[in-house]
């Protein structure tokens, strides 16, 4: 892999996103971290990633806002084209539907699927011109299983949208040499509001580590997955068996 390959990772200053940034740095990418609010946490994350790759960058942008995404991609591309986009940002909400406000509903859908749409749309023109590139979206383990979601409905809908976006773009962008895939994590030990029996619901009897989700992203972005596109890879430890 050329040393100057660049990877833009949204929501990448904590938990799964930070693990992905560190793993891609290990893989030789110049990781470009994205955050929207906590500047102090973002600086700590950047320092941690720069231990692995000193050229790592940090961009503050709200990826639910079209203008912010355009600015982020323009800034991220200033030192070279974006070879890999990882749409990791996606807020979570645990609340019954009748207690969910419209503002909360809109926030989860915007964060989960609209942000992925905006970021994909922004990076695809340059990837098409290069006739190369990879996008990896982060969905969830129920993204392609249309089960009831009494406490997580907007989140479930947003991640189902991410899965459909993934497969659609894999179809439309394949002729340009662009691969589009997704990972669908299960219960991760960095998540909040997990069911108390989450670990026992898995076949492996434990929660996932963020680094294990990052490893799946790394694989889908690598040359080892050069003939894989349109995949939605379950990484849930057998939670849905």
Domains within the chain, CATH numbers bracketed: 6-235 (3.40.50.720)
- Give per-residue pLDDT as tens, 1-15: 455 899 999 999 999
Q: Does the pLDDT at position 121 exceed 70?
A: yes
Predicted local confidence at residue 4, as pLDDT: 80
From 29, 155, 176, 227, the catalytic residue: 155
Q: CA–CA separation, 72 vs 162, rounded Å?
A: 21
Q: What is the pTM of this model?
A: 0.95
- Give per-residue pLDDT as tens, 140-186: 998 888 788 888 899 999 999 999 999 999 999 999 999 999 999 99
pLDDT band per the 50, 70, 90 thresholds, residue 69: very high
Q: Looking at per-residue confidence, does 196 or 137 come out higher?
A: 137
Within 10 angstroms of residue 224's Cβ, the number of other Cβ atoms is 10
176 is an active site residue: no
Q: CA–CA separation, 113 vs 158, rounded Å?
A: 5
Cα separation values, 218 from 5, 85, 88, 223, 230, Å: 13, 12, 13, 10, 16
Q: Does the pLDDT at position 37 exceed 70?
A: yes
Predicted local confidence at residue 2, as pLDDT: 52
Percent of the chain with pLDDT over 90: 87
């Amino acid at each position: 892999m050329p040393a100057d390959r660049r990877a833009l990772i949204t929501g990448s200053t904590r938990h799964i996103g930070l693990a992905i940034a560190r793993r891609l740095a290990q893989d030789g990418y110049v990781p470009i971290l994205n955050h929207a609010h906590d500047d102090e946490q973002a600086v700590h994350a950047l320092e941690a990633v720069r231990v692995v790759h000193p050229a790592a960058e940090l961009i503050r942008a709200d990826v639910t806002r079209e203008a912010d995404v355009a600015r982020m991609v323009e800034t991220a591309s200033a030192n070279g084209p974006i070879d890999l986009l990882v749409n990791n940002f996606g807020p979570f909400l645990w609340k019954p539907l009748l207690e969910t406000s419209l503002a909360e509903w809109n926030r989860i859908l915007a964060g989960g699927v609209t942000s992925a749409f905006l970021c994909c749309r922004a990076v695809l023109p340059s990837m098409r011109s290069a006739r190369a590139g990879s996008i990896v979206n982060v969905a969830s383990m129920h993204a392609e299983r249309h089960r009831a979601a009494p406490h997580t409905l907007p989140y479930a809908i947003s991640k189902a949208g991410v899965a459909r976006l993934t497969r659609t773009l894999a179809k439309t962008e394949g002729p340009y040499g662009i691969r589009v895939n997704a990972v669908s994590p299960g219960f991760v030990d960095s998540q909040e509001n997990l069911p108390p029996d989450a670990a026992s619901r898995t076949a492996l009897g434990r929660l996932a580590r963020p680094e294990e989700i990052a490893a799946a992203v790394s694989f889908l972005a690598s040359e080892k997955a050069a003939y894989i596109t349109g995949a939605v890879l379950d990484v849930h430890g057998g939670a849905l068996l």
